Structure 1
Amino acid sequence: MRTLLDFEKPIAELESKLVEMKKLAIDNNVDVSVAASQLEANIEQLKKETFTNLTRWQRVQLSRHPERPYTLDYIENICDEFIEIYGDRNVGDDKAMVGGFGKIDGETVMIIGQQKGRNTKQRQLRNFGMPNPEGYRKALRLMKMAEKFGKPIVTLIDTPGAFPGLEAEERGQGEAIARNIRDMFMLKVPVICIIIGEGASGGALGIAIGDRVLMLENTWYSVISPESCSSILWRSWDFKEQAAEALKLTATDMLNNGLVDGIIPEPLGGAHLDYATATQTVKKVILNTISELQKLSPSERINQRVDKFGGMGAYK
């Protein structure tokens, strides 16, 4: 059964009525094609009105939809072959960070991303998509491997943040993220970063320094989540909607502020409603962007990367 967000329920009710109408028509051998067509048009119109005018908090909810495609779903749908690589060669393998070589229409790329779980057992295994330091060190190891073999890097970002536990801090969480940020600036191969869900704070930034940083339409990217912002400013999570508005964290906000390079459209209603279209759109963007970046020399890409991020936050 589909998980419905509050603003999806009116649409689902009309869709349910359409199914009932068609079933009754079959059972009673009645022609309802005209009425069905009108109802389908109403559903489509309601969808457009609803999803065109979502609030920032509603987009945050959509980015967290439990049926939304995660990193491994994208890998499965866009790669002809994929070989996962494990471990940071230091502490262990972080299941919240996955990565390996994948082949997309003959183009070999290194794909790295945070992975969430669908059920309680998977969520525990993946630590709710919150990597430990070894996850970021694994990611950097794979990036260096891709650089060694001259293969482009694609990162898929979907995390509520790096794991904030004591053990993560003891193993150098801040240092691991900072090293990733520093070293990603200097990678000689094309680097494409795509936010596919949540992009929270340093947990996202640790794999988000690239030649192109792109966001799916219904995702968010911010230094802090609306709930945490609300708890700091209002001492309560009850003001998360106001916090989301103040943070200006949607894809449109980020693009307008020059913090990302582009927005990838999603199927009407969100990526969770149409995996095939969502993943194929991302696949097309990846291949086109790689082709574009490969026309530049390594030094040109590095210089552009440094200039882009160095210019953020500067104003006259």
Structure 2
Amino acid sequence: MEYLEFEKPIEELMEQYQTCSLVGEDAGVDVKLACSQIEDKIIEKKKEIYGNLTPWQRVQLSRHPNRPYTLDFINGIVDKDSFLELHGDRNFADDPAMIGGLATIDGHRVMLIGTQKGRTTKERQHRRFGMSNPEGYRKALRLMKLAEKFKIPVVTLIDTPGAYPGLEAEERGQGEAIARNIFEMTMLKTPIFCYIIGEGASGGALGIGVGNKVYMLENTWYTVIAPESCSSILWRNWNHKEDAANALKLTPKDALEHKFIDGIIEEPLGGAHYEPKVAYDHLKQSIIQNIKGFSKFSGKELEQQRQEKFISMGQFKG
């Protein structure tokens, strides 16, 4: 387990617990009481730290190297061996940063789409750190249209620092691809449920983020720009990223307060990486609940509800 800077007190207590356990085993001494006391201290310290996270610390948790990624969540929520990944945008290429395919969750058919990061250096380069090219968004749209044809709910899992900013992406129409997805998703006649499971930045997130319901996991963020990028624009360096994180109102609590999302999915104490299965179960429960809740609506009603949901976020003056 890796620990972030603000998690160091927990790391020290964990080391004490491990030392206590080893001493007991080596010396044949009953140290259950001592170890139990350290365990209690660990829980108390976790509650103290994770109950008072700053926006920047929540951003850091969303990027934790041990945090589950999209494929981890997919494998954790779908019925065994039911996920069939589909590839290609039928126009240019397949984008490994954007994954998608058919699956069943407790017998319910779904189309799963999400941005995928990598863990090793090679995987990160291959997945471009979860930053999609235009062909990724076009692949996502192709799968959504396929789901609409067969009346299958769409579930998107968002974990991206933004769309890929490379020259070749702009040459192939990055802005148009994202705008097209937003436009088409407002009119899709099948349920769409969107979940921010890590980072939710800018158009990279919005390109698969227009849903009948939008949720954030507890230790995620969702805003127009990453704190570092915001700091570099306003202060010409990254030194004010914490100030930017505070000003952007990017936490799940902020998003729910401003009605940008419909709810917050609870994570295990300390984050999804501590007990991934618990995080998977919470996500799965929400998806099934929404599938059942929206099954009675017609395609036109789904389209109308989704449009009204996003239109109501704006303020208009005649």
| TM-score, scaled to structure 1 | 0.98
CA deviations 1:58-116 (Å, max 9, x no partner) are 00000011111111111111112110000000000000000000111111100000000
Distance in 2 (CA, whole Å) between partners of 1:306 and 1:103 is 27
Question: Who is 1:39 aligned against?
Answer: 38
Matches within 5 A, 1:293-304: 293-304=294-305
Q: Could you say which residue in structure 2 is the equivalent of 1:18? A: 17
The Cα shift of 1:315 comes to: 7.6
Aligned ranges for residues 259-278 of structure 1 at < 5 Å?
259-278=260-279
Distance 2:276 2:36 in 1: 25
Residue 84 (structure 1) aligned with residue 85 (structure 2): yes
Aligned AA (1:37): S
SS of the aligned residue for 1:237 comes to coil
User: How far apart are residue 311 of structure 1 and its match?
Assistant: 1.2
Residues in 2 aligned to 1:40 and 1:192: alpha-carbon distance in whole angstroms: 38
The worse-fitting range, judged by mean Cα deviation, of 196-205 and 9-18 is 9-18
Matching of residues 178-217 of structure 1 within 5 Å: 178-217=179-218
CA-to-partner distance for each residue in 1:5-42, whole Å, 9 max, x for gaps? 01111101101101111221222222222222221111
- The Cα offsets for residues 109-154 of structure 1, whole Å up to 9 and x where unpaired, read as 0000000000110011101110000000000000000000110000
2:286 aligned partner, one-letter code: V
What secondary structure, in the 3-state scheme, does the structure 1 residue paired with 2:24 have?
A: helix
Counterpart Cα distance in 2 of 1:67 and 1:41: 23
Give the 5 Å matches for 1:1-316: 2-80=1-79, 81-314=82-315
Partners in 2 of 1:101 and 1:249 — Cα distance?
31
Residue deviations 1:132-188, cap 9 Å, x none?
Answer: 000000000000000001100000001010011111111111111001001101111
SS in 1 for 2:3: coil
Shift of 1:289: 1.1
Shift of 1:273: 1.3
Identity across matched positions, percent: 62
In 2: Cα distance, 1:93 partner to 1:190 partner: 25
CA distance in 2, matches of 1:184, 1:164: 23
Write the letter of the residue equivalent to 2:36: S
Task: Name stretches of at least 5 consecutive residues in structure 2 with no aligned partner.
Answer: none
The 10-residue stretch of structure 1 (305-314 or 180-189) with the greater mean CA deviation from structure 2:
305-314
CA distance in structure 2 between the aligned counterparts of 1:271 and 1:313, rounded to whole angstroms: 32
- Give the whole-Å Cα distance in 1 for the aligned partners of 2:167 and 2:33: 63
- Any idea what SS the aligned residue of 1:271 has? coil
Pick which of 90-99 and 27-36 moved more.
Answer: 27-36
Q: For residue 312 of structure 1, report the CA deviation from its aligned partner.
A: 0.9
Q: Distance in 1 between matches of 2:171 and 2:108?
A: 39
SS at match of 1:273: coil
**Amino acid aligned to 1:88:** D
Distance 2:35 2:62 in 1: 31
CA distance in 1, matches of 2:207, 2:3: 32
Instruction: Give the AA of the match of 2:261.
Output: V
Alpha-carbon distance in 2 for matches of 1:251, 1:261:
10
> Over residues 281-311 of structure 1, what are the superposed CA-to-partner deviations in whole Å (9 max), with x where a residue is unaligned?
1111111111111122222221111111001
Distance 1:28 1:313 in 2: 67
**Is the partner of 1:126 in helix, strand or coil?**
helix
The count of aligned residue pairs is: 315
The list of structure 1 runs, each at least 4 consecutive aligned residues, that deviate by more than 6 angstroms after superposition, is none
Whole-angstrom CA distance in 1 between matches of 2:163 and 2:121? 19
The secondary structure found in structure 1 opposite 2:83 is strand
Q: Which moved more, 1:70-79 or 1:95-104?
A: 70-79
